[in-house]
């Protein structure tokens, strides 16, 4: 098989995806020794990747940022870490099957467990290999819920990768969402611009952008992932009227320094993509070796502030365990309300539930 990343259309990429350590090891010409140390982790969490994404890697570099995201690491199963497979309690926040609702105005639909690449840092590793598919029964129940809950203004399509759904199914789903008057925004979370950008044909992009209020949240973690192909995919999406934002996960050994986050942010802006969130890794079982510590993220943001366009700087955030929601972290000081001359100052914080609370130096709440 040719290693060229130009090879083929998206069907070709999908058909030739490399499933399992042996296939990936052959493609990258990894040594027997290297494969042997990865085998147990590969059995627990089976690897999967497109030829395109693997072609971005440099297999001779043991610290390669692409390889770290796709190759099983012994640390995934060694870590004596009592981590939860579902730390964000998505199961608990699910009013009907396939729907996660944590905020009054947004609902997230889990449409499939399928992905084009198994990211080693995946938040939903627990679902790998499970057959979660959007079928008629689930769809009717979910739509019934969305129609009845009129405060839901935005629906987020997630998975797995929702853009791996059959095109006809996806189109039906989008049209059906379009008929719910109170749903003004549809956000699609997909890693395909990074791992299978060939998917974004003109036709496909036009279908996605057929109505206003369509956004795509993609997942680039490293500037190496910004290629001509991914740039073209974004260009077509934008031309079709789809807004694009990017979510990056802060990953030790992949992107945990200011220079890489800066280069990524500037590269994204160049192709019309707004860096949205930089997430601290969630405490998901099998991903501990990627965790950087919260301070690392704060330090990166503070190194970028004032040095690069604010447009290029994502919001550093943690998704709190137990369904606590996302909190934004900033290294900057909060808003200070001066007190009476000689008196105490007040600090204003915005709480998760939207309430503004003041925090006084004198201890007043
Ligand atoms: C992340 C998330 C959202 C979206 O949050 P934003 O801050 O609007 O990006 C919505 N619902 C759930 C369940 C989420 O995990």
**Binning pLDDT at 50, 70 and 90, where does residue 236 land?**
very high
Give the range of the structural domain holding residue 181, as residue numbers without chain letter.
Answer: 85-327
Cis peptide before 53 (omega within 30 of 0): no
- Give me the percent of the chain exceeding a pLDDT of 90: 73
Q: Hey, whose CA ends up nearest to atom 5 of ligand 1?
A: 326
Is the pLDDT at 82 greater than 60, yes or no?
no
Q: Is any ligand 1 atom within 6 A of the Cβ of residue 107?
A: no
For the ranges 158-162, 195-199, 250-254, 360-364, the lowest mean pLDDT is seen at: 360-364
Question: What spacing in Å lies between the alpha carbon of 37 and ligand 1's midpoint?
Answer: 37
The pLDDT of residue 139 is above 70:
yes
Higher pLDDT: 7 or 110? It is 110
Note if 319 is an active site residue.
yes
Are 348 and 334 a contacting pair, CB within 8 Å? yes
The structural domain count of the chain equals 2
From the list 39, 44, 106, 296, the catalytic residue is 106
Enter the pTM of the model. 0.89
Is residue 85 predicted with pLDDT exceeding 80?
no
- Three-state DSSP at 337 gives strand
Ligand 1: residue whose CA is nearest its atom 4: 106
Q: Is residue 81 scored above 80 in pLDDT?
A: no
Could you tell me if 99 and 58 lie in one domain? Answer: no
Same domain, 52 and 96: no
Q: Is residue 362 domain-resident?
A: no
Is 205 part of any domain?
yes
Mean pLDDT over residues 54-80, rounded? 92
Residue 354's pLDDT is 63
Residues 45 and 167 in one domain: no
Known catalytic residue: 326?
A: yes
Note whether 7 and 50 are within 8 A (CB). Answer: no
236: annotated active-site residue: no
Active site residue 234: no
Residue 2 clears pLDDT 50, i.e. is over it: no
The full DSSP string for 77-109 is HH-----BSSTT-TTTT-SSTTEEEEETTEEEE
Q: Provide the β-strand partners of residue 247.
A: 277
pLDDT at residue 3, as a whole number:
46
Atom 1 in ligand 1: residue holding the nearest Cα: 326
Closest-CA residue, ligand 1 atom 8, reads 106
Average pLDDT over residues 180-201: 98
Residues 192 and 165 sit within 8 Å (Cβ to Cβ): no
């Amino acid at each position: 098989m040719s290693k060229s990343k130009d090879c083929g259309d998206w069907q070709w990429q999908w058909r030739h995806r490399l499933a399992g350590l042996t296939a990936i090891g052959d493609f990258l010409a990894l040594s027997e020794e290297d494969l042997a140390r990865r085998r147990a982790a590969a059995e627990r969490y089976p690897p999967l990747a497109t030829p395109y994404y693997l072609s971005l890697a440099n297999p001779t570099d043991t610290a390669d940022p692409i390889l770290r995201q796709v190759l099983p690491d012994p640390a995934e199963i060694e870590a004596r870490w009592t981590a939860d497979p579902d730390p964000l309690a998505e199961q608990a926040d699910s009013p009907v099957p396939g729907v996660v609702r944590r905020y009054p105005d947004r609902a997230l639909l889990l449409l499939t467990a399928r992905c084009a690449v198994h990211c080693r840092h995946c938040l939903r590793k627990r679902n790998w290999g499970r057959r979660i598919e959007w079928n008629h029964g689930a769809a009717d129940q979910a739509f019934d819920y969305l129609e009845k809950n009129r405060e839901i203004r935005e629906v987020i399509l997630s998975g797995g990768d929702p853009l791996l759904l059959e095109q006809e199914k996806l189109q039906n789903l989008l049209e059906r969402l379009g008929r719910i008057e109170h749903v003004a925004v549809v956000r699609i979370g997909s890693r395909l611009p990074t791992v299978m950008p060939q998917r974004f044909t003109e036709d496909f992009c036009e279908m996605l952008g057929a109505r206003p209020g369509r956004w795509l949240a993609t997942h680039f973690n490293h500037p190496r992932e910004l290629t001509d192909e991914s740039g073209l995919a974004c260009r077509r999406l934008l031309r079709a009227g789809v807004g694009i934002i990017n979510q990056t996960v802060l990953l030790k050994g992949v992107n945990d320094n200011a220079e890489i986050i800066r280069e990524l942010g500037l590269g994204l802006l160049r192709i019309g993509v707004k860096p949205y969130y930089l997430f601290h890794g969630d405490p998901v079982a099998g991903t501990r070796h990627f965790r950087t510590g919260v301070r690392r993220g704060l330090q990166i943001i503070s190194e970028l502030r004032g040095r690069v366009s604010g447009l290029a700087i994502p919001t550093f955030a943690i998704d709190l365990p137990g369904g606590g929601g996302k909190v934004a972290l900033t290294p900057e000081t909060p808003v200070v309300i001066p007190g009476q001359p000689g008196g105490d100052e007040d600090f204003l914080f915005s709480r998760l539930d939207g309430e503004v609370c003041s925090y006084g130096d004198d201890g007043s709440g």
